[in-house]
A and B are shown apart, each in its own frame.
Chain A
Amino acid sequence: MTQTLQSAKGLRLIAHFDLCTGCEICQLVCSERLFGGFNPRLAALRIEHRRENLVHEPILCEQCHNPFCQNVCPVQAISLDEDTGARVIDPDTCIGCGLCASYCPRQVIVQDRESGKSVKCDLCNGDPLCVRACPTGALELIVQGGDHA
């Protein structure tokens, strides 16, 4: 079995854009976990506000089957966490080149201002803070593919 097929059996974050109010509480709690302080720009997910805030669309890390971040990483710092299905960055290996962030099709990889290293969604080890914090149920964690038992 190839690695990409394995990754299809994992946890996935999905968004119901029609329930999103654009409050960015998901980004606030994510930024605090990743960087120890609040700023929605420093979250591993984002919201596109459209049409004068009539529409809010959460943009999430899809833990891609064909992960550009992993493909472009020159030092193989990104790998599949087989427990969760998340693509995770090993901070000890990451050299902070920023290639993963610049080629992420969803633009949801951020860089630590101090270390320069990349940080991405790791699904909070299977219990994402963003899902817990969302006041409307616009974010959901699902098990994708295969046996849910």
Chain B
Amino acid sequence: MPKAWMGKFLFVDLGSGSSWTQEVPDWMRSKLMGGKAFGAKLLTDLTPAGCDPFAPENPLMIMTGPLTGTSAPSMRGCVVTKSPLTGTFLDSYFGGYFSPEVKYAGYDGIIILGQAQEPVYLWIDDDRVEVRPAAHLWGQDALEANAAVKSELNDETVKILSIGPAGENRVLYSLISCEYNRQAGRGGAGAVMGSKHLKAIAVRGTNTVTIHDPEAFRAAVIQANADLEKSEDVQAMRDGGTAPAVDFANETGLLPSRNFQDGSFEKASNLSDIGQSKHLWLNSAACLGCPIRCSKMGAVRTGKYAGFITDIVEYESAALMGSNLGISDVRAVAHLVKLCDRFGMDSMSTGGVIGFAMEAGERGLLESPDGISLEFGNVQAAEYLIRSIAFVDNDLGKLLAQGVKRAAAALGGDASAFAQHVKGLESPAWGPRGAAGTGLAFMTADRGGCHQRGLPAPLEVTGGEWEGKPVQALAVEGKADMLIQMQNYLAGTDALVKCDFGGFGVQPETYAALLSAATGERHTADEFDRLGERIWNLTRNFNLREGLNPADDTLPKRFMQDPLPSGPNKGHRFSAQDMAFMLKDYYSLRGWDQAGRPTEETLKKVGVQDLPKFEKSS
């Protein structure tokens, strides 16, 4: 076996309580690398077609990459499962310390199947695997459960994934808490964990991740760090994480304001690094092995919500729980996001859901509960909704725990006109009216409304260059080609599994040099694009098999029907013609037919068809 990988998967069947290991086949390593690609292939092969995401057969998988746990900067792990929110492929990435620990315990990935009868947690101590009772932890929030498991195992250094009440209650956008301040946030992996009655996973590993050519690897790490230091984007992340993006998005008209009714917010800087530096931040923190340190740790020290520790309120949460709700007090936003983290629900989707509910309230489609006025700017209403959703203990909570797509369908009327989602996943905090390629990115992202599968917005709105030519924000020509290149490269490097911020600096050649030195196999800078294309066809195939309707490759109606009322993109909306043009171009360049299905020829060309099926041994 080549170095760097650990060579085996750990399988756990919670139904029987049994566990076993299986070798990672050579073809998987050579054709798929790790992370996203392993997850996409395993999900396809292990899941029966049409599987209910809450059925025991839906695997919950934690995947690492070949460089995870080494000194290569800024590697992560990912959770892969079938999403209960979208009914399609879900991959959600997390930094922190957990994924390296999986490798130190001896595994390239953990695959959890079945469903326990009673609440349990999993204790993986190298090759010793125990399914332990967790009835006493059920109902605790994600951080309480983390502390309780550490205390029970009498070791503060074990690494833990946990869910909160939202996951237990199968709120469809529940997250998995990856201590601390890191989350597998999007798409409802926490609800899948809850459906398995699995409260937490604790890991302790004492093996080493070894390298084929340590000297060449050290040289490649020096190069990777030099790449990071050279990048202005990385320097910006080091200074202020993603918080400065609030002001950037506001100035460029991309910031969601009041459920995306507008693209700018009058008090944006209260929520950006300016407001956060003043009211929250104390220190920088990093994930294992990362010199970027994008986390800005701090605390709410004063005011109504005083007395809790908070990480940076990163851009997506600051926008979706702040400007999107008409809330400008950053301490209140930090409070709301912390509630989401503790209860274990995605603060992005939750912000989208609350924005939807506030607009429905203002439009008279949704009745405000006693003493709570559903209107923008009302922090008390937002907090009420977060608690109602997490505990699903009233009708409003039950309605909104399903996400905006289902809630809009249940409400009827014109509610779907302001339900901001793509394929059921609530929109990220980039209103793309004014950035055509960004609209296409959301239309085609493999997990639904997502900004991490290629985000042309910063290039589009700043007049940046792509392949030597200036990018016109509103142009539709060339956008599919640009986006496909971005999607492929990101997917290929999500097999690594790299951090997106590390990817701002580290060059493809350097990733290849790291991999070559680590594994002893020859890797090249261009293979990430090819691997990404393979992955993009794997996930599309899976989604189509699970019933994805290609007509859902579209945008929230608001972006098509409502022109932006202010800002630099005032008056703009997506036209049906623009969308059809870009989508046709996109399908054609992807080698998909007019209905958005990969052709046999394409599947053969990108190497999907020749992949063997992964068979589990028990």
A positions within 8 Å CB-CB of B: 18, 21-25, 28-29, 31-32, 35-42, 49, 51-56, 113, 133, 135-136
For this complex, 8 residue pairs linking A to B, each with C-beta atoms less than 8 Å apart, are A23-B289, A29-B71, A38-B208, A41-B205, A52-B309, A53-B297, A53-B311, A135-B291
Would B208 and A25 count as touching, CB distance under 8 A? no
The chain A residue sitting closest to B3, CB to CB, is A37
- Closest beta carbon of chain B to A147's beta carbon, Å: 34
Would A28 and B210 count as touching, CB distance under 8 A? no
B209 interface hit (Cβ, 8 Å): yes
Whether A38 touches B71, Cβ cut-off 8 Å, given contacts A23-B289, A55-B283, is: yes
B-side contacts of A42, CB under 8 Å: 206, 208
- Closest beta carbon of chain B to A125's beta carbon, Å: 17
Give the number of residues in B that approach A within 8 Å (Cβ atoms): 36
B293 interface hit (Cβ, 8 Å): yes
How far apart sit A54 and B211, CA to CA, in the bound complex (Å)?
Answer: 32
A-side contacts of B207, CB under 8 Å: 37, 39
B287 interface hit (Cβ, 8 Å): yes
- Closest beta carbon of chain A to B274's beta carbon, Å: 21
B548 interface hit (Cβ, 8 Å): no
Would A28 and B71 count as touching, CB distance under 8 A? yes
Please provide the 9 A-B residue pairs with the shortest distance between their CB atoms, ordered closest to farther.
Answer: A37-B208, A135-B291, A23-B286, A37-B210, A21-B286, A52-B180, A21-B293, A28-B71, A38-B209
How far apart sit A136 and B181, CA to CA, in the bound complex (Å)?
Answer: 21
- Cross-chain pair count, CB within 8 angstroms: 91
Would B208 and A54 count as touching, CB distance under 8 A? no
A-side contacts of B208, CB under 8 Å: 31-32, 35-39, 42
How far apart sit A96 and B78, CA to CA, in the bound complex (Å)?
Answer: 39
Whether A52 touches B181, Cβ cut-off 8 Å, given contacts A23-B291, A38-B209, A135-B291, is: yes
B255 interface hit (Cβ, 8 Å): no
Whether A113 touches B295, Cβ cut-off 8 Å, given contacts A24-B289, A38-B69, A52-B309, is: no
- Closest beta carbon of chain B to A63's beta carbon, Å: 24
Main secondary structure of the interface of B (DSSP, over half): loop
- Closest beta carbon of chain A to B225's beta carbon, Å: 8
A-side contacts of B206, CB under 8 Å: 39, 41-42, 113
Interface centre among A29, A38, A41, A42 (most CB of B within 10 A): A38
B463 interface hit (Cβ, 8 Å): no
Would A39 and B157 count as touching, CB distance under 8 A? no
A-side contacts of B299, CB under 8 Å: 54
B288 interface hit (Cβ, 8 Å): yes
Q: Which of A36, A49, A54, A56 touches B282 (beta carbons < 8 Å)?
A: A54
Using an 8 Å CB-CB cutoff, how does the interface string of B390-403 with A read, 1 for contact, 0 for none? 00000000000000
- Closest beta carbon of chain B to A22's beta carbon, Å: 5
Given A52-B181, A135-B291; 17 other pairs, CB 8 A cutoff: A21-B284, A21-B295, A22-B286, A23-B293, A25-B291, A31-B208, A39-B69, A40-B288, A41-B104, A41-B205, A52-B180, A52-B297, A53-B285, A53-B297, A133-B71, A135-B225, A135-B293
How far apart sit A113 and B104, CA to CA, in the bound complex (Å)?
Answer: 13
Using an 8 Å CB-CB cutoff, how does the interface string of B205-235 with A read, 1 for contact, 0 for none? 1111111001000000000010000000000
Whether A54 touches B283, Cβ cut-off 8 Å, given contacts A28-B289, A37-B211, is: yes
Interface centre among B205, B214, B284 (most CB of A within 10 A): B284
- Closest beta carbon of chain A to B179's beta carbon, Å: 8
How far apart sit A32 and B282, CA to CA, in the bound complex (Å)?
Answer: 32
How far apart sit A143 and B103, CA to CA, in the bound complex (Å)?
Answer: 38
How far apart sit A136 and B285, CA to CA, in the bound complex (Å)?
Answer: 11
B-side contacts of A35, CB under 8 Å: 208
Using an 8 Å CB-CB cutoff, how does the interface string of B255-296 with A read, 1 for contact, 0 for none? 000000000000000000000000000111111111101010
How far apart sit A136 and B290, CA to CA, in the bound complex (Å)?
Answer: 11
B-side contacts of A133, CB under 8 Å: 71
Using an 8 Å CB-CB cutoff, how does the interface string of B152-190 with A read, 1 for contact, 0 for none? 000001000000000000000000000011000000000
Would A51 and B309 count as touching, CB distance under 8 A? yes
Interface hits, B195-212 → A, CB 8 Å: 205-211
Would B69 and A23 count as touching, CB distance under 8 A? no
A-side contacts of B205, CB under 8 Å: 39, 41
Interface hits, B48-78 → A, CB 8 Å: 69-71
B-side contacts of A38, CB under 8 Å: 69-71, 208-211
B143 interface hit (Cβ, 8 Å): yes
How far apart sit A55 and B209, CA to CA, in the bound complex (Å)?
Answer: 27
Would A52 and B143 count as touching, CB distance under 8 A? yes
The chain B residue sitting closest to A56, CB to CB, is B285
The chain B residue sitting closest to A28, CB to CB, is B71
- Closest beta carbon of chain B to A19's beta carbon, Å: 9
The chain A residue sitting closest to B225, CB to CB, is A135
The chain B residue sitting closest to A136, CB to CB, is B293
- Closest beta carbon of chain B to A15's beta carbon, Å: 15
B-side contacts of A40, CB under 8 Å: 100, 288
A-side contacts of B214, CB under 8 Å: 32, 36
How far apart sit A136 and B157, CA to CA, in the bound complex (Å)?
Answer: 23
How far apart sit A49 and B96, CA to CA, in the bound complex (Å)?
Answer: 12
A-side contacts of B284, CB under 8 Å: 21
How far apart sit A22 and B97, CA to CA, in the bound complex (Å)?
Answer: 10
How far apart sit A24 and B288, CA to CA, in the bound complex (Å)?
Answer: 6
- Closest beta carbon of chain B to A124's beta carbon, Å: 14
The chain B residue sitting closest to A135, CB to CB, is B291
Q: Which of B157, B293, B298 touches A41 (beta carbons < 8 Å)?
A: B157
How far apart sit A19 and B297, CA to CA, in the bound complex (Å)?
Answer: 13
Would A53 and B295 count as touching, CB distance under 8 A? yes
- Closest beta carbon of chain A to B141's beta carbon, Å: 13
Whether A22 touches B285, Cβ cut-off 8 Å, given contacts A37-B208, A38-B208, is: yes
Would B287 and A54 count as touching, CB distance under 8 A? no
The chain A residue sitting closest to B70, CB to CB, is A38
A-side contacts of B181, CB under 8 Å: 52-53
- Closest beta carbon of chain B to A36's beta carbon, Å: 7
- Closest beta carbon of chain B to A46's beta carbon, Å: 8
- Closest beta carbon of chain B to A21's beta carbon, Å: 4
How far apart sit A20 and B293, CA to CA, in the bound complex (Å)?
Answer: 10
